[in-house]
Structure formats: C-alpha cells, structure tokens
Amino acid sequence: MGKILGIIGGGQLGMMLTEAAKKMPEHISKIIVLDPVQNCSASQVGAEQIVADFKDKKAIIELAKRSDIITYEIESGDSEVLKLVEKDAEINPSPETLKIIQDKFLQKSFLLKNNIPVTEFIQICSISDLKQGLIKFGYPSILKARRDAYDGRGNFKIDSEKQIQKAFDFFNGAEMMLEKFVPFKMEVSVIAARNTNGQIKTFPLVENIHEDNILRETIAPARISKNVAEYAEEIAKTTMNVLNGAGVFGIEMFVTENNQIVINEIAPRVHNSGHHTLQSSETSQFEQHLRAILGLELGNTTLLHPTIMYNILGSKIFEGEYKSIELSEQNVFLKMYGKKISKPLRKLGHFNLVGKQGETIDYLLKKLETIKDKVSINPA
Ligand code: ATP
Ligand code: MG
C-alpha cells in the first residue's frame, strides 16, 4: 500500500512534486497539499488541498493527521509546530534541519562551524552593529533579512555610507545579518539528495543567471572547468553529510575569480535551478526528492543532454489575466504553473531547451534568443 503524502505549499514546486508522486502509485497513494490560494497549482494536477496559511497550526495538525509522511516546498514553515506533529507523520527534511536552514544566520553559522566555506557574515541587531559591520566588510555589503526571504526580496545592497539608515529601516525591525559582497564570476548550484538511509547523490553543477534578483536561466552543465565542478559537488556532499536530513536540497554557491567556492545559501527543498532535470536526466529532482524521503534507492543523476532552463516571469508593467503561451519548437518543453493572474516578475512557468542532437550550450543559447519573445507575458 502506498503512503499518503502531505506537502506544505502547493505552488509550482508542490505541483511538480505531485506530478512525480502520481507516477509512483505503488509508493504514494494520495497527495494532500496545504496552501492558502484556492485552486493552487498542485491542486490542479490532482492533489487534494487544505486551504490555509502555511503557518496555520490547526491546518498543519490536520495535514499531519491525514498524512503518513510530510514534506514541504517552502522553507518558511513553522518548525516548532512541525516538531509537535512528528508523532502523527514522518517529516522530511526534519524540523530540526528546517530550523537551522530557514534562518540564514543560523544556517551560515552552522556551515562555518563545519568548515564549509561561506561568505563572511555577522548578525545585526542595531544600527551601530551595522555601522561596525560596514567598517569591517567595506562597500558594497549586503544586508539581509534572516528569515522568509525569497527572490532577493529580503536583500539590500549597501553601496555607500549614505544608504545605511535607509537599509536599516527597510527591514522594519526584522532580524538581520550583514554579508560581505562576493565579487563572483559565476553563480552555480548543486541539487543534492540524501535518502533516509544516508545515501547521498548530487546532480551535476549548473550555472545560474539572475536578473532583478530572480533566477532567469539555468545552464546545465555550468560552463566551468571539470575541476571546479567536481570541487563544488564535493562541497555539496560534505554539506549533505553534516546537515542530517532526508530530501533534495538546493545548494547555491558563488565561484570567485580564483575559482574558490563559497556557499551563498541552502534551500531545504527542490529548487528552481533543478527544473532542467525534468528533461535532462533519467531521474527528475522531484522524483529524487520523493525517493529520498521514502527511503528508496536514489535515482541516476547523470546529465543526459546539455539543457537550458528559462523562467517565464510576469511582465513588470501589468497585473492581471494573461494570454496563454504556446511553443512548438523541437526539443523545447514548456511547463506553465496554472496561475491565473500575472504579477510583476511572478514565476508563471518555465521551459527547458534540450540539446538532444549533440547541440552545444552555445548553440542552445542562440536558439534561446529566438524563443524568448514568444514567452513574454501580455494582458489577456
Ligand atoms: P532566492 O530566493 O532567489 O534564492 P534570496 O531572497 O534567498 O533569493 P539570496 O540568494 O541570498 O536571496 O540572494 C539573491 C541574489 O543576490 C544572489 O543570487 C546573488 O546574485 C546576490 N547576492 C546575495 N548575497 C550576495 C553576496 N554576499 N555577494 C554578492 N552577491 C550576493
Ligand atoms: Mg538565493
């Protein structure tokens, strides 16, 4: 008999987890998501839904009572409430791991303690801490909210002394940390998995291109030497070893001019930079996550074809219903997330451009230029 899977969050990640789960009926018999948005993305592909806030204690208790195993697509869940319901359902990654990761300051302190390279950082509790920190790190530095940040919305880059007060006020009393700016030559990530039996596997290193602080493109594999890629994958494995939790984790890193690697942050969940695996690998990151939390043997992570993932984002200039997107190019795989309303830079879908006939990344990048216009979002 398959297990009942509960997922906190039913957005696009919950949706693609649901789709993967439905392909494993012998292991998972039903999927229930908890999401505040009626008719959320995951519910459109066959998950039952509890409509409630991610932090709604009663709803989380209900989800645990109705599920055998719980996972999440967001890191902002209430780890204390999750700890309380561990008696009702197995939770992976563990609430303990979530608690460390969801606070960027605790996360970096934990990595540092385990000798894993991270950006230099300090905790900020007052404006004088901030001034001291900026003397230490210089300009620019990045002030970050410790929790609940996504798509760069919890970051303030401070370029000069003049911005100190503005940056401090921006966070409105939320807990903060300051990071030294890393002049990276490339942003990369590793999607890593660990199953409940301790088996660890990583997908090959990918390159991430951000615009307006939001992931725009992922290039698999990263255009970097084999040595650097292997080094980054080693760091990811070490990280998985110390983290002690089951599931897929997205590990974001910077590569510096002299090929040093520092971890920027870890997401305790499937990750946007792993969407290419839907077509580029035998096992997608979504299936891998389910295999990991169910204690199954992890799947093959070899990259079968060079692939570029391109995010389809809401137009910056309008909010509302939008015209549907269609693509008919060969080896281009479109995935829309079923969101009715576009908002500026909202993640509405993505497509994967797969180099199936031996096409190189350079070729795919040129092909991408001819497709970008076809996915721009316009009012309905
Ligand atoms: P996301 O949800 O997109 O992962 P986030 O809100 O959690 O983002 P971060 O990943 O911390 O934010 O930062 C967003 C982006 O800002 C990074 O991908 C990187 O481009 C830049 N950035 C963050 N920290 C630093 C740093 N210390 N030095 C240089 N650039 C940085
Ligand atoms: Mg990030």
pLDDT digit string, tens, across residues 128-140:
999 999 999 999 9
pLDDT digit string, tens, across residues 62-85:
999 999 999 999 988 889 999 999
The 10 Å Cβ neighbour count of residue 53 is 12
Closest ligand 1 atom to Cα of 208 = 18
pLDDT recorded at residue 172: 87
Residue 110 lies in a domain: no
pLDDT digit string, tens, across residues 217-228:
999 999 999 999
Range of the domain at 66: 3-91
Task: Say whether both 145 and 209 belong to one domain.
Answer: no
Mean per-residue pLDDT, 155-183: 94
Task: Say whether both 361 and 261 belong to one domain.
Answer: yes
Neighbours of ion ligand 2 (CB under 5 A): 252, 265
Number of domains in the chain: 3
Q: Is the pLDDT of residue 14 over 70?
A: yes
Pocket lining: 306 vs ligand 1, CB cutoff 6 Å: no
Closest ligand 1 atom to Cα of 214 = 3
Q: Which segments within the chain are labelled E, that is strand?
A: 3-8, 28-35, 48-51, 69-72, 90-91, 121-124, 141-145, 155-158, 176-180, 184-194, 200-202, 206-211, 214-220, 247-256, 261-267, 307-313, 320-321, 332-336, 341-342, 347-354
Instruction: State the pTM of this model.
Output: 0.96
Residue 97 lies in a domain: no
Pocket lining: 155 vs ligand 1, CB cutoff 6 Å: yes
Closest ligand 1 atom to Cα of 149 = 6
What confidence tier does 20 reach under pLDDT thresholds 50, 70, 90? very high
User: How far does residue 252's CA lie from ligand 2's centre (Å)?
Assistant: 6
Q: Residue 138 in 3-state DSSP?
A: coil
What confidence tier does 321 reach under pLDDT thresholds 50, 70, 90? very high
Final residue in a domain of this structure, among 91, 109, 142: 91
Q: Is the pLDDT of residue 349 over 70?
A: yes
pLDDT recorded at residue 343: 97
pLDDT recorded at residue 213: 84
Task: Say whether both 138 and 168 belong to one domain.
Answer: yes
Contacts of residue 240, Cβ cutoff 8 Å, sequence gap at least 6: 192, 193, 194, 200, 202, 249
Closest residue to atom 9 of ligand 1, CA basis = 152
Task: Say whether both 306 and 348 belong to one domain.
Answer: yes
